[in-house]
Amino acid sequence: MTPLINIVTIRLSWLLSAVATLASPQCRCLYGQKCWPTPSDFSSLEAQISQPLIYPLPPASACYPTSDPSGNCTDVQTNQFNGNWRSNQSGSMQSPNFESFIFDNGSISACYLNTTLGVPCQQGCVPIIGVDARSVGDIQAGVRFAVEHNLRLAVKNTGHDYLGRSTARGSFLIWTHHLKNTTYNASFVPAGAPSVETYDAITLGAGVQWNEAYDAVQAQGRTLVGGVSEGGSVGSAGGWVLGGGHSAIAPAYGLGVDNVIEFNIVTSNGEYLTANSHTHADLFWALRGGGGGTYGIVTSVTYRTHPSVPLTAFYFAANSTNNETFNNLFAEFVRLHPNLSEAGFGGYAIVSSNGIGVFYIALNVTQAQANETVDPFLTFAQNLTSQGLDISIASTVPYLSFYSWYTEWYTPTFSAAPPVGSIDELASRLISRDTIEHNPEGIANAILALDGVVWHFVAGGAVSKVDPESTGLNPAWRKALAHVVWSTGWVEGTPASEIKQLRAALAQSLKNVTDLTGSSAYYNEASMFELNPQYTFFGSHYDKLKVIKNVYDPVGLFVVTEGVGSEDWDTSLNCRR
């Protein structure tokens, strides 16, 4: 094709897309409106898919007399905080606040587990009807149906989403949770690549969760960069990787996006595409960190695997009622991180105003080598015991593999991860190595003032060695050492006015931290009320991501909170601005 013909073709394609967008209704069709598809329309859709249509309900609906009589309220009460149980419910989110909906007048539509509140069970933000996708064809049929009827679409796997991106009031759902295919290939060749380009890889369907993925690679004597959660319930091939995908072993092998070889995806025109460095390379670039729910529905991800190697864990726990003593300890802990990064450590710490618990690991590091790195800090801490510091744990422990460490700490019965099933809204910031090196005391004081932070030591090392322009991920990740998260919450039945006050307090705390760290954050674990989400989550890559978004989703079907292109829609994400 000559350059002139190519230019004309591109412009014609853009013009047709623009005309189609301008001709489409300004607002999505929601349940209860006259435009909502008829029973006959849904019957036609059902004839095209492999499973009956699903009718999601808030999980607590089983506890109300008006629900299906077969509902088992005891089951709901028993499993309220079980991430794997929640992921098996099409209407459940891991944080139940995203199942409810607050109207502009302050009234709340929700279905509370606490039935003594005397509030009727309502649908809230839970989608009305949807497709239980078991194949690519199911997803294609659902996508085409949503476009044809101009529906607000929600795409959900497990419901692990702190921005509420996998649900929407009055919407049509495509549920990918049952896409469980797992294929290991020690000599995987990406589509379009030369035959000599091979990887030791595993392909995971969109519904595969980390507990399943880790079991699969362990059977092959391999390991995989992935997330941690109670019971391993987080999805391994969805929003986690599309937002970046942090991991305790990211400092050794890079983030999730740095380990992806290939995606398969269904776009808004129903087309099934393979995206890698050889085909649809622009989409491949965007999918690696450019945000979940934005470009299409990922059906599978292929990751490179790594040898299973031994590791050493560093455990430390201490507290003090003497504020000055604990502040000194935590400032020293912050100051230690460049050295920990150089030594290959990564992991998590839980921090309050007067206590800390550390769960760090280093791959291919012996216990003696680990001790050499952490002993100066432990000596510093020991010297504070005369000033009121109480040290309950201070040890290094060898493990045969990441899998053996993971299965010890992240089982459903004993977990180092924050629980699911509780009302939770987050704020977060990335903290750069430069900030930690130049102002450890300032960072320490700001963190302790929050009185409840999860300190994710998941950057530096291999993460910092990746070319910032090689993926769509926010370039700030390549300069970061830590990702810090804190939150607010409330009990069921709290009035909207009080929720508003709690959100305002969270926003103020975010401003205080931002003054020290800058405004960059991890898209998957962050505030829903960022002032400039385009920069905060995507940095200098935003304009390029927006162009790619418009190429692969010209009708704007995939719209999510603070995602690429969301600024073109109102705050409800139902109507174009």
CATH number at residue 166: 3.30.43.10
Q: Which of 307, 328, 348 is the last residue of a domain?
A: 307
pLDDT (0 to 100) of residue 7: 31
Average pLDDT (460-486) is 98
- For the cut 80, the answer to whether the pLDDT of residue 9 exceeds it is no
358 phi, psi to nearest 5 deg: -115, 130
Q: Which of 282, 307, 332 is a domain's end point? A: 307
Q: What is the pLDDT of residue 69?
A: 54
Model confidence over 311-358: pLDDT tens digits? 999 999 999 999 999 999 999 999 999 999 999 999 999 999 999 999
Residue 17: pLDDT over 80: no
Co-location of 140 and 225 in the same domain: no
Does the residue 539 lie in any domain?
no
Number of separate domains in the chain: 3
Percentage of the chain with pLDDT > 90?
91
pLDDT band at residue 21, thresholds of 50, 70 and 90? very low
Q: Is the pLDDT of residue 233 over 50?
A: yes
Helix (H) / strand (E) containing 510: helix 496-517
Tokens (6 digits) for 549: 């978004």
For 528-556, b where at least 16 C-beta lie within 10 A, e where not — what string?
A: bebeebbbbbbbebbebbbebbbbbbbeb
Residues 187 and 148 in one domain: no
First to last CA, the chain: 38
Distance CA 556, CA 100 (A): 25
Picking from 556, 470, 569, 570, the residue whose alpha carbon sits closest to that of residue 294 is 556
CA 76 to chain centre: 24
Q: Are residues 123 and 238 in the same domain?
A: no
Q: Give the number of C-alpha atoms closer than 13 A to the C-alpha of residue 548, restricted to the C-beta side.
A: 23
Structure tokens at 341: 């990064």
- Model confidence at 5: pLDDT above 50: no
- In angstroms, the CA 418 to CA 230 distance is 7
Tokens of 506: 């969270």
Confidence band (pLDDT; 50, 70, 90) for 413?
low
Task: Classify residue 369: in a domain, yes or no.
Answer: yes
- The answer as to whether 26 is a domain residue is no
Q: Rounded to an integer, what distance in angstroms lies between the CA atom of residue 223 and that of residue 113?
A: 39
- Number of residues that make up the chain: 577
In angstroms, the Cα distances linking 161 to 35, 166, 528, 540 are 29, 7, 11, 24
Q: Is the pLDDT of residue 543 over 70?
A: yes
The answer, yes or no, to whether residue 511 has pLDDT greater than 80, is: yes
Question: Alpha-carbon torsion 446, 447, 451, 453, what sign?
Answer: positive
User: Are residue 217 and residue 249 in the same domain, yes or no?
Assistant: yes
Please say whether the beta carbons of 403 and 223 come within 8 A: yes
Decide: helix, strand or coil at residue 24.
coil
Q: What is the CATH number of the domain that holds 316?
A: 3.40.462.20
Taking the C-alpha atoms of residue 418 and residue 420, their distance in angstroms, rounded to an integer, is: 7
Looking at 156, 178, 200, the residue that finishes a domain is 178
Nearest to 558 by CA among 238, 271, 259, 166: 166
**What is d(CA 66, CA 52) in angstroms, rounded to the nearest whole number?**
23
CA-CA-CA-CA torsion sign (329, 334, 336, 340): positive
Does residue 188 share a domain with residue 173? no
Closest CA to 559 of 336, 268, 344: 268
Give the separation between CA 572 and CA 152, rounded to whole angstroms.
Answer: 11
pLDDT-based confidence at residue 418 (cuts at 50, 70, 90): low
- CATH number of the domain bearing residue 220: 3.30.465.10
The 10s digit of each residue's pLDDT in 524-540 is 999 999 999 999 999 99
Which of 58-67, 155-164, 341-350, 427-436 has the weakest average pLDDT?
Answer: 58-67
84-139 per-position pLDDT tens digit: 999 999 999 999 999 999 999 999 999 999 999 999 999 999 999 999 999 999 99
What's the whole-number mean pLDDT along residues 364-380?
A: 98
Nearest-5° angle of CA 181, CA 187, CA 193? 95
Q: What secondary structure letter does DSSP report for 450? A: H
Q: Could you tell me where the DSSP H helices lie in 384-495?
A: 402-409, 433-438, 440-450
What pLDDT score was predicted for residue 72? 87
102 in a structural domain: yes
User: What Rg do the C-alpha atoms of the chain give, in angstroms?
Assistant: 24
- In a shared domain, residues 296 and 189: yes
Cα–Cα distance list, 48 to 23, 43, 60 (Å): 28, 9, 31
Task: Tell me, yes or no, whether 112 and 212 share the same domain.
Answer: no
On whether both 262 and 285 belong to a single domain, the answer is: yes
pLDDT for 153 equals 98
Domain that holds residue 110: 39-178
Best CA proximity match to 241, nearest among 224, 229, 255: 255
Residues 447-474, mean pLDDT to the nearest whole number: 97
Instruction: Decide if pLDDT at 155 tops 90.
Output: yes
Does the pLDDT at position 469 exceed 50? yes
Residues 89, 127 share a domain: yes
Mean residue pLDDT of the chain comes to 93
Q: What is the pLDDT of residue 177?
A: 98
Q: Residue 414's pLDDT is what?
A: 55
212 plus 247 within the same structural domain: yes
pLDDT at 207 over 60: yes
pLDDT at 461 > cutoff 70: yes
Q: What is the mean pLDDT of residues 248-273?
A: 98
Q: What's the pLDDT tens digit per position in 477-487?
A: 999 999 999 99
CA distances in angstroms from 214 to 200, 285, 476, 494, listed in the order given: 15, 25, 29, 39
Task: Quote the longest CA-to-CA distance of the chain.
Answer: 79
* pLDDT mean over 492-504: 97
pLDDT bucket at 368, cuts 50 / 70 / 90: very high
Residue 411 lies in a domain: no
Evaluate whether residue 456 is within a structural domain.
Answer: yes
DSSP state for residue 305 in the 8-state scheme: -
Q: Residue 263 carries which side chain, given as an amino acid letter?
A: F
Identify whether residues 332 and 200 lie together within a single domain: no
Question: Would you say residue 158 lies in a domain?
Answer: yes
Residue 29 lies in a domain: no
Give just the sign of the alpha carbon dihedral 167, 170, 174, 176: positive
Q: Are residues 147 and 189 in the same domain?
A: no
Asked whether the predicted pLDDT for residue 375 surpasses 70, the reply is yes
